[in-house]
Amino acid sequence: HIEDPKNVINNLIFTSPDNIQLASKILRYGWFEFPSNPEEEKYIIDKILWKSGFDIGIFPPYQRLFWKRLEKFLNIVKTYTIHDERDKELIRSAGVNFFVSLEEILDYSLSFITWALLSDHYDITKFKCNLDDARRFLASHLNGRQLGSNKTLKLNGEGKNTLYPLIKGFTILAELCNEMAKGRRDRLKRPKNKLPGYHGKTEIEQFPFIHTSLILDLRKKDFDRIIGFLKEVTAILEKSQICNIRNRIEHKRPN
C-alpha cells in the first residue's frame, strides 16, 4: 500500500460523526459510534478494515494464548527425545497446558456458533451474545443427540467439557441444522404478529429474519458452506487422534 490503510480510514471517515454513520450503513452490520478516546478509535478503525477485507487480528487474549501454547508444545516435542523422566515432565507439562487451551477454544467456538445459528436474534437475543447464556443454550439444544448406536451427547452448560463431546458437537450441530432445514421450516416461521409492519409491503427493504432460527434464513450456498465447515472440524480433529494424544499425555505411560 502507498498509504497506510489506517490513515486512510482516519482521514476519510473520522472527520465527522455523520461519516461514521454513513460507513456503518455501507458496511451493513455493526454500529460504529464516534470514538471518545484513542483506544475506541483504534478499535473502530480495525473493525472497519476487517470488514473491508484486510487481515486484521481482532482476537481475544485466549486465542493468542492457544497459539503460544501450541508453538511451545511443538517445539518441546521436536527438541526432546524422552531420554529420561525430566524430558517426559517437560512434554507432559506443555501438553497439558496446550490441551486446556484447545478445550477452551472449542468450548467458546461451539457455544457461540450454536447460539448464532439457532437463536432468534431479532426477537430474543437482540444480537447480543453472553457466553454463559450461549453455553446453556448449547447444552439445551445438543444434549441427548445420538452419537452412535448406544451413546448420546452430554455437554455441561457451565463450560466444563472435555475434548470428546466438544469435537463431536460440531458434527451433531451440523446434523441438527440439516434436520431443521428439511423438516422444521414451517414450524419455525415467525408468527405474523411478530413481523415488522413493512414486511411484504415493499421490495425496497426486505425483512431478513423470517424464521426464529438464523440458520433457516441463510442463502443455500452459505448454509452448505457452514454445514461442511462444521463437519470438517470434527473430521480433522478425529483424524489427528487428538483425544488419544491427550489421554497418553495425561497418564504416565512408559512412552
Domain ranges of the chain: 5-51, 61-250
Question: What pLDDT, on a 0 to 100 scale, did the predictor assign at position 202?
Answer: 78
pLDDT > 60? residue 253: no
More confident residue, 129 or 10: 129
Residue-level pLDDT at 32:
65
- pLDDT, average across residues 92-108: 93
**Which set of grid coordinates corresponds to residue 38?**
484513542
> Rounded mean pLDDT of 31-54?
79
Residue 90 has pLDDT above 90, yes or no: no
C-alpha cell at 36: 471518545
Instruction: Check residues 120 and 28 and name the one with the higher pLDDT.
Output: 120
pLDDT at 59: 65
Output the average pLDDT for the chain. 88
pLDDT band at residue 132 using 50, 70 and 90 as cut-offs: very high
Q: Check residue 63 and give its pLDDT.
A: 80
Q: How far apart are CA 99 and CA 93, in angstroms?
A: 10
Which residues are 152's β-sheet partners? 146
The predicted structure's pLDDT at residue 30: 63
pLDDT at 40 over 90: no
Round to whole Å and give the CA distance between 31 and 206: 20
Contacts of 120 (CB under 8 A, 6+ apart): 190, 209, 212, 213, 214
Query: Average of pLDDT values for 139-155?
Result: 93
159 against 53, higher pLDDT = 159
Grouping H, G, I as helix, E, B as strand and the rest as coil, residue 189 is: strand
The more confident residue out of 144 and 23 is: 144
Q: Which helix (H) or strand (E) holds 147?
A: none
- pLDDT: which is higher, 9 or 212: 212
Return the minimum-mean-pLDDT range out of 146-160, 189-203, 240-254: 240-254
pLDDT digits (tens, 9 = 90+) for 64-74: 888 899 999 98
Q: Check pLDDT > 70 for residue 31.
A: no
pLDDT of residue 24: 77
Report pLDDT for 13. Answer: 82
The more confident residue out of 201 and 125 is: 125
Residue appearing with cell numbers 457452514: 226
pLDDT given for residue 83 in this prediction: 64
Q: Which residues face 189 on adjacent strands? A: 211
Assess whether pLDDT exceeds 70 at residue 28. no
Could you count the other beta carbons within 10 Å of the beta carbon of residue 71? 12
